């Protein structure tokens, strides 16, 4: 075939593959499930497009997507053509693949998937010779798209972990290791050291790494340093390469001061959350290391400030103006909940807000709500059931929330949950939707800023992603 006739057909074919993201709680983690070597062999059927790609490979628990999109903005401002691969998505699969600073064109996406389908043996499903999962297939599609677009650099975010992730077929190159937290502990291990070990495996001999700030225990940092020493790869802490000298949070966003290449750099961004300073720092540190090695030259401080000042991060403390104002954040782990609480305190002080929360059943719900409750401004919590087979029923989630909050409502139906939230907000109390990325796309599609109008017409629904 020349390609699928449209996105509906392309997505239907994608959905015929195994999707571990839908039932991650039942997945057995190991090299018999996540076959990186077999995936590399399957890539040979489409010309091994990952070979020769110049990449920045990103792994971590927190900040992968924000760091990736910050780095994309910087490299595009430097005149480099980029490709970016992130997961999950808010509304549709092709959002995961970005070429030249925007999602891949729908027709091009359909063409590439059609070529991948044609390259697979007729008995691929029975013999296991084709790409077996949705994530493998999308990863292969990204490699093809990036290679054929002739990009200067591809920014590639891991899906789950790192060691057994499909993206770990990449050749040695720059690596960014972001903050590690306790997440997917059944699969990756129950300690920071174990999780960091899985993530650190993307660092290979011949590569080099930038390490984002880590928890004060030093557990993850020690693992990263041991891995770097073992493979002979230089490792630079982002905080050492590009120190943050000032963070000022206000209702309009963040004013940030850095020392970049030994000179002061001021960034004013509409992004919410002091934690975003860490993600911007990660991107600036990678940029500085690339420049020190002869890449991304010619970028002035004004161009850097302009690129980051225009940065938009969908689903990451994303603001939608209106009455009420909405803030959408896909954070789902206790670390993310604590970051949301700190952001609300830093930007809005004691101004009240309502939280609309949905979560997957395999998350640490108690710890999430305990961390969220560190900010005392929550007027009410409204729990809903996200559109995923892994979603926790709203009533069960509400029981968890009641341990920490006085007013809690629950609705399995998302539209009812939104309507209740809007009534409680009375056009003046800010609403924060959080707990999972699975629900952010549908909420975003329903919420329109003009006078807090909520639209319940059918909209593209977020395909469950890896929720990380």
Q: Is 406 found in the same domain as 359?
A: yes
What letter does residue 300 receive in the DSSP assignment?
A: -
Q: Is 349 found in the same domain as 289?
A: no
Burial of 218 (0-12, 13-18, 19+ CB in 10 A): exposed
Q: Identify the residue whose tokens are 């090299």.
A: 31
Of all helices (H) and strands (E), which one includes residue 74? helix 64-77
Tens of pLDDT along 299-314?
Answer: 999 999 999 999 989 9
Residue of 377, 441, 415, 327 lying closest to 95 (CA atoms):
441
Tell whether 438 is covered by a domain.
yes
Rounded average pLDDT over 26-53: 92
| Phi and psi, residue 91, nearest 5° | -125, -40
**Rounded Cα distance, 250 and 452, in Å:** 23
Tell whether 220 is covered by a domain.
yes
Q: How confident is the model at residue 123 (pLDDT cuts 50, 70, 90)?
A: low
The pTM is what? 0.90
Estimate the crossing angle of helix 64-77 against helix 276-292, to 10 degrees: 50
What letter does residue 372 receive in the DSSP assignment?
A: H
Cross-strand bridge partners of residue 177: 59, 211
pLDDT at 117: 94
More confident position, 453 or 73: 73
Tell whether 286 is covered by a domain.
yes
Q: Is 333 found in the same domain as 303?
A: no
The whole-chain average pLDDT of the chain stands at 91
Q: Which of 279, 309, 339 is the last residue of a domain?
A: 309
Contact 116, 140 (CB under 8 A): yes
Rounded average pLDDT over 290-298: 92
Q: Is 271 found in the same domain as 325?
A: no
Tell whether 239 is covered by a domain.
yes
Please write down the HEC assignment for all residues of 246-266. Answer: EEEEECCEEEEEEEECCEEEE
Rounded average pLDDT over 349-357: 97
Q: Is 352 found in the same domain as 386?
A: yes
pLDDT at 448: 56
Q: Is 357 found in the same domain as 282?
A: no
pLDDT at 450 over 80: no
Alpha-helical regions (H) of 120-264: 124-127, 134-149, 185-188, 192-200, 219-231, 238-241
pLDDT at 225 over 50: yes
pLDDT at 461 over 90: no
Q: In the chain, what percentage of residues exceed pLDDT 70?
A: 93
Alpha-helical regions (H) of 271-408: 276-292, 301-309, 334-348, 365-372, 394-401
What letter does residue 56 receive in the DSSP assignment?
A: E
Please name the residues in contact with 54: beta carbons below 8 A apart, sequence gap of 6 or more: 152, 153, 154, 173
Burial of 208 (0-12, 13-18, 19+ CB in 10 A): middle
Q: Distance of CA 227 to CAs 88, 242, 396, Å?
A: 27, 22, 41
**Rounded Cα distance, 142 and 99, in Å:** 9
Domain that holds residue 401: 318-452
Structure tokens at 84: 């970016």
Q: Is 302 found in the same domain as 160?
A: yes
Q: Is 42 found in the same domain as 13?
A: yes
Peptide bond into 324 cis (omega under 30): yes
CATH code, domain with 216: 3.40.1190.10
Rounded average pLDDT over 144-161: 97
Sheet containing strand 263-269, strands side by side: 244-250, 253-260, 263-269
Q: How many helices (H) and strands (E) does the chain have?
A: 17, 17
How many domains, in total, are found in the chain? 2
Rounded average pLDDT over 411-431: 95
Q: Is 329 found in the same domain as 282?
A: no
Q: Is 410 helix (H, G, I), strand (E, B) or coil?
A: strand
- Please report the beta strands in 340-429, taking only residues with DSSP state E, as ranges in sequence order: 353-357, 378-384, 408-411
pLDDT at 467: 32
Residue of 438, 355, 424 lying closest to 392 (CA atoms):
438
Q: Is 134 helix (H, G, I), strand (E, B) or coil?
A: helix
Q: Distance of CA 136 to CAs 38, 94, 163, 165, 448, Å?
A: 11, 14, 15, 9, 35
Q: Which of 282, 309, 336 is the last residue of a domain?
A: 309
Tell whether 460 is covered by a domain.
no
Cross-strand bridge partners of residue 83: 99, 154
Q: Is 197 found in the same domain as 87?
A: yes
Q: Is 337 found in the same domain as 240?
A: no
Tell whether 458 is covered by a domain.
no
pLDDT at 1: 56
Q: Is 326 found in the same domain as 262?
A: no
**Rounded Cα distance, 20 and 330, in Å:** 19
Rounded average pLDDT over 42-55: 96
Tell whether 2 is covered by a domain.
no
- DSSP, residue by residue, 137-149: HHHHHHHHHHHHH
pLDDT at 4: 95
- DSSP, residue by residue, 319-337: EE-SSS-EEE----SHHHH
More confident position, 246 or 445: 246
Residue of 181, 174, 223 lying closest to 203 (CA atoms):
174
């Amino acid at each position: 075939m020349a390609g699928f006739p449209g996105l509906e057909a392309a997505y239907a074919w994608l959905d015929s593959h195994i999707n571990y993201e839908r039932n991650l709680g039942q997945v057995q983690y190991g090299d018999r499930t996540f076959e990186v070597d077999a995936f590399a062999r399957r890539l040979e059927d489409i010309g091994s497009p990952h070979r020769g790609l110049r990449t920045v490979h990103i792994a971590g628990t927190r900040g992968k997507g924000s760091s990736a999109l910050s780095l994309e903005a910087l490299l595009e401002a430097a005149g480099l053509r980029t490709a970016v691969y992130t997961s999950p998505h808010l509304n549709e699969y092709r959002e995961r693949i970005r070429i030249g600073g925007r999602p891949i064109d729908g027709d091009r996406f359909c063409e590439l998937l059609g070529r991948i389908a044609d390259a697979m043996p007729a008995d691929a499903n029975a013999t296991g010779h084709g790409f077996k999962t949705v994530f493998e297939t999308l990863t292969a599609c990204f490699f093809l798209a990036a290679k054929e677009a002739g990009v200067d650099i591809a920014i590639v975010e891991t899906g789950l972990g790192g060691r057994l992730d499909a993206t770990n077929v990449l050749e040695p190159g720059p690596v960014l290791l972001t903050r590690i937290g306790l997440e997917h502990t059944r699969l990756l291990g129950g300690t920071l050291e174990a999780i960091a070990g899985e993530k650190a495996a993307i660092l290979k001999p011949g590569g080099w790494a930038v390490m984002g700030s880590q928890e004060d225990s030093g557990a993850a940092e020690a693992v990263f340093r041991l891995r770097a020493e073992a493979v002979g790869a230089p490792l630079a802490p982002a905080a050492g390469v590009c120190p943050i000298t000032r963070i000022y949070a206000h209702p309009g966003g963040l004013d940030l001061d850095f020392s970049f290449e030994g000179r002061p750099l001021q960034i004013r961004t509409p992004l919410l959350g002091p934690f975003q300073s860490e993600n911007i720092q990660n991107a600036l540190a990678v940029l500085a290391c690339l420049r020190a090695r002869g890449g991304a030259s010619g970028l002035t401080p004004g161009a850097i400030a302009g690129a980051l000042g225009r940065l938009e991060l969908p689903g990451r403390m994303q603001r939608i103006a209106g009455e009420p104002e909405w803030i959408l954040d896909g954070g789902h782990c206790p670390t993310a909940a604590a970051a949301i609480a700190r952001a609300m305190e830093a930007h809005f002080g004691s101004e009240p807000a309502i939280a609309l929360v949905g979560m997957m059943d395999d998350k640490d719900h108690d710890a999430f709500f305990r961390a969220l409750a560190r900010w005392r401004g929550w007027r009410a919590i409204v729990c809903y059931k996200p559109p995923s087979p892994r979603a926790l029923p709203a009533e069960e989630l509400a029981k968890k929330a009641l341990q920490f909050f006085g007013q809690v409502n629950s609705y399995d139906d998302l539209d009812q949950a939104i309507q209740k939230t809007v009534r409680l907000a009375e056009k003046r109390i800010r609403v924060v939707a959080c707990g999972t990325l699975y629900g952010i796309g549908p909420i975003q599609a329903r919420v329109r800023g003009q006078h807090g109008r909520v639209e319940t017409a059918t909209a593209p629904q977020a395909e469950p992603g890896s929720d990380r």
